[in-house]
A and B are shown apart, each in its own frame.
Chain A
Amino acid sequence: MCLVVGLLLVWPAVHHAAWRAWHFDAWRFGGFAMYTVPKLAVATGLVGEANGGWVSLVPHELPPGVQDALARQKKFRRALGDLARPDPLARAVLALGGLDGVVVVIKEQHLVGTEVVEETRWYRYSLSGLEDLSSGTDFPQEWR
């Protein structure tokens, strides 16, 4: 009983530290941090790589399987934050063929103090292996 209650009292501190690291949904996972941050927009975009160039991938023009993977990625990203890597989405896009790689761009808005800031993360995957090769430091400006 004491151990369980002790864990209950300590866990929210762990939750807060983990939230700062991974930006998951603060309203979940037993941290009692409901009504601390608003649930703002999370947007996911796709950019293909082919023949040394960039290829725009418009979500609603993609096959239903990829659109489902995209919707699932968005849903899990909102709940799990950085812990929800877009690996399954990248696999689904690369399985379409015709691409040497794909970059998944995730833009997340956060209320920090009194300002809304947007954080962008890029996950770059290649055909040779499904790896997160970079964080987008050489990503073209037009896709930022």
Chain B
Amino acid sequence: MERGHRDLTGWIWAVGRVDPDQGDGVWRALSGLLLIHELARTLQLALVLDTPAAEWRFGLALAVLGCLVLWRWRPALACGLTALAVGVQVIWCFPFVANHLFVEALALALVAVAGPERPLGIAGCRWVAVAVLGWSGLQKLLHGTWVQGSFLASAIAMEEGFAQAFAWLLPSGEVAALVARGQPAPGSGEWALGSAAGLAISNGTWLAEILLAALLLKRRTRRWASWAAVALILGVQLGARELFFAGLMTVLLLSFQRAAWLRRLVPVLVVLDAALIASLAGWLPAWTFN
């Protein structure tokens, strides 16, 4: 490198470089998993949206299925075309676009654009995981609703899923009292968790998100931090019940692991996504699909 010139791009490798013998395997598994996930996502939107016409919505799902087949021979192109399909869905849904769509489009685009530079595509997906995890924690802190547990208190009062999950974690009287208060409204008093367990969970959540995102950037800690982050994401689903998003984040977090772990995730993701689609179509009891 010439004197006076600094490498402004080296920071991209702060998420680690995949081992050379793992690069192809991780990239192929990661790209395949993202495509499987996106096929389910496209089917989900085809089932729940009212516009545009059904032939367009299911046609797009068919196109993504075609990309999944194409992946066998031209994986980068398949990911790029699927990223465009996600872009179409963003336009259809705007402004009511879930953040997951942005995450999916970005991950697919990064994997595609990196092309033959597969370690770079993997690094891109790792950064997406770090950004989502870290900023989820930072935003909780910035909005000021997690230090005293005010968001969780309101969520327990408003949503059955949260009340059921926290019935196991908090003193029973606290959950019952919050549920009895009903919908938070002006003049309804202070919304906060009073128990030590509640405050520990509330503050522990955003702290863990920020800390784990930071630990993903350190070589010695990133492998186990990615597992810890997966556990955190799955634990949050006890209340949030966003299984589809949990699947996506698990895929991205496992980009920090060896290819074998990602390959093991394939049948799990296929079964989960199939069950979620079946529940949306009414063939299975309704789950939360988000």
B99/A30 in contact, CB under 8 A:
yes
For the complex, count residues of A whose C-beta is within 8 A of B: 36
B184/A40 in contact, CB under 8 A:
yes
Report if B172 contacts A (CB, 8 A): no
A-B contact count (CB 8 A): 122
B97/A28 in contact, CB under 8 A:
yes
Q: Nearest chain-B residue to A17 (Cβ)?
A: B142
B142/A16 in contact, CB under 8 A:
yes
A62 to B30, CA, bound (A): 54
User: Which residues from chain A contact B113 at a C-beta distance below 8 Å?
Assistant: 1
User: Which residues from chain B contact A111 at a C-beta distance below 8 Å?
Assistant: 145, 150-151, 154, 184, 191
Report if A58 contacts B (CB, 8 A): no
A36/B143 in contact, CB under 8 A:
yes
User: Which residues from chain A contact B136 at a C-beta distance below 8 Å?
Assistant: 32-35
Given A1-B12, A1-B124, A111-B151, the answer on whether A26 and B131 have CB atoms closer than 8 Å is no
A37/B97 in contact, CB under 8 A:
no
Report if A114 contacts B (CB, 8 A): yes
Measured CB to CB, the closest approach of chain A to B236, in angstroms, equals: 8
Residue of B132, B140, B158 touching A35 (CB-CB under 8 A): B140
User: Which residues from chain B contact A80 at a C-beta distance below 8 Å?
Assistant: 95
For the complex, count residues of B whose C-beta is within 8 A of A: 49
Given A35-B140, A115-B190, the answer on whether A30 and B184 have CB atoms closer than 8 Å is no
Residues in B170-200 with C-beta less than 8 Å from chain A: 183-188, 190-192
Per-residue interface assignment for chain A, residues 3 to 31, with 1 indicating a CB less than 8 Å from any chain B CB and 0 otherwise: 01100110010001000000000111111
User: Which residues from chain B contact A16 at a C-beta distance below 8 Å?
Assistant: 139, 142-143
A32/B99 in contact, CB under 8 A:
yes
Residue of A36, A38, A41 touching B140 (CB-CB under 8 A): A36
User: Which residues from chain B contact A9 at a C-beta distance below 8 Å?
Assistant: 127, 131
User: Which residues from chain B contact A1 at a C-beta distance below 8 Å?
Assistant: 12, 110, 113-114, 120, 123-124
Residue of B8, B99, B145, B186 touching A109 (CB-CB under 8 A): B186
B102/A30 in contact, CB under 8 A:
yes
Report if A131 contacts B (CB, 8 A): no
User: Which residues from chain B contact A112 at a C-beta distance below 8 Å?
Assistant: 144
Given A12-B135, A34-B136, A79-B95, the answer on whether A5 and B124 have CB atoms closer than 8 Å is yes
Report if A54 contacts B (CB, 8 A): no
Residues in B95-143 with C-beta less than 8 Å from chain A: 95-99, 102, 106, 109-110, 113-114, 120, 123-124, 127-128, 131-132, 135-136, 138-140, 142-143
